[in-house]
Structure 1
Amino acid sequence: MAAEWKETLETEREISAFMLELGIPAHLRGYYYLREAVLLAVSDMELVGSVTKLLYPVIARRYKTTLQRVERAIRNAVEVSWERGNPEVFEDLFGFSRETGAPRPTNSEYIARIADKIRMDATTGEKHVTERNRTLL
């Protein structure tokens, strides 16, 4: 049980570090909803196929809010990171960025790509928690 909790905490730290790389400000409510969505998707990628029916309701219950507010807050966090985030990080993750004239990714694309990146990095041992961002987490 303690090992599972520690692994979940480590995954959460990795997600947070990667979200910082994407330029998502931690003061946004959507930051926390998005982190929760990615954490759930890392453990069950099928949730990404039905974000409005499966993922948002779980988050809404957990945070005692509505699924509409969850969706809107995540969309806002995605928009803010798309506008303010490092285009190179987006280019690496999505294959495009705002600088290429591409539209911003949808909430489900954003959640799926981050979750997939975290899962793949876990198999290779790549870490996003660095000395620089460790103090921010």
Structure 2
Amino acid sequence: MGYKQYHRPFSTDEMNGHLLICDNSPGLGRLLSRRFMNMGIMAECCKSSLSSIKSRISEGKICGIILFAFRPDEKLLDLIRQLSENGISVFAGLYTSSASVHDCFRRAGAEKCFIMPYPVSSLCCTVMLYADKGKSLLSRLELLIEELGFPRRLSGFYYLAKAAEIALDSPERLWGSMNGIYEEIAQTYSTKASLVERAMRNLADHALKSGASARLTEHRLTEKPTNTELICALCDLFSRL
């Protein structure tokens, strides 16, 4: 079954603008920008000063902002409030684990706060999912596993995402026979349950060799995962993000 039948590229039209990465460190800002661009999300960098941020916002359409801070400066919190009120998502990387500081940013309207340093891949996944939360659960799961390195060219890619969607909606189904899940996926994609199971096993084999399963499980699994283990790991990661 051809993968092109299911693939729908992630576009900036869906996100209604660019991501603005505000950081005085050109290394981190450029790295994040490249990662988002590789994911099909337009991103640009600017300095973290309030004047630079306001200038970039006035120049073009911004859908989300990633910024980094050490403390809850009142002028910065006011800017976050304004951005939130105007529908611009703010993601704050905070160089402190203080709960009170994180609460200040969340109350101001920050969509998500990270404790820095934070893994780049996890940051990209989380921003991607939050910034595009209007998408369907299935589409968001596909975007997540694609970012982790699972290839869309394999039909098992779509079967895994669909299985996770089913499991997130009805977790109890994972503890019975997998046959019912395979059959539901087969009906969705007009194929056979046995082919769904085989394709997912093939995906697991590829994911082990490429390191995608290690990234999905945060290196907890060092052997080829079973289909059920892949589904559970994806559900767990998605829920935590």
- Using structure 2 for the length normalisation, give the TM-score: 0.41
Other-structure match for 2:204? 78
The higher radius of gyration belongs to 2
Correspondences of 1:55-74 after superposition (within 5 Å): 55-74=181-200
Task: State the AA in 2 paired with 1:109.
Answer: E
Correspondences of 1:6-45 after superposition (within 5 Å): 9-45=135-171
CA distance, structure 1, for counterparts of residue 179 and residue 134 of structure 2: 24
Label 1:86 to 1:7 Cα distance change in 2 as closer, same or farther (>3 A).
closer
Contact 2:207 2:213 survives alignment (8 Å)? no
Whichever structure has more helix as a proportion of its residues is: 1
Secondary structure at 1:80 match in 2 = helix
Unaligned runs of 5+ in 1: 1-5, 97-101, 122-137
Other-structure match for 1:124? none
CA distance, structure 2, for counterparts of residue 35 and residue 75 of structure 1: 14
Contact 1:56 1:70 survives alignment (8 Å)? yes
Contact 1:42 1:118 survives alignment (8 Å)? no
1:50 positional shift: 3.0
Contact 2:151 2:157 survives alignment (8 Å)? yes
How many residues align? The count is: 110
Unaligned runs of 5+ in 2: 1-131
Deviations 1:63-114 (A, max 9, x none): 121111000011111111111135761451x523xxxxx3211000110110
Q: Structure 1 vs Structure 2: percent identity of aligned residues?
A: 27
Two-structure CA RMSD over aligned residues (Å): 2.4
Task: State the AA in 1 paired with 2:220.
Answer: G
Whichever structure has more strand as a proportion of its residues is: 2
CA distance, structure 2, for counterparts of residue 74 and residue 8 of structure 1: 27
Label 1:90 to 1:64 Cα distance change in 2 as closer, same or farther (>3 A).
closer
2:234 corresponds, among 108, 111, 114, to 114
Other-structure match for 2:174? 48
Q: Which has the higher contact order (CA 8 A, sep 6+)?
A: 1
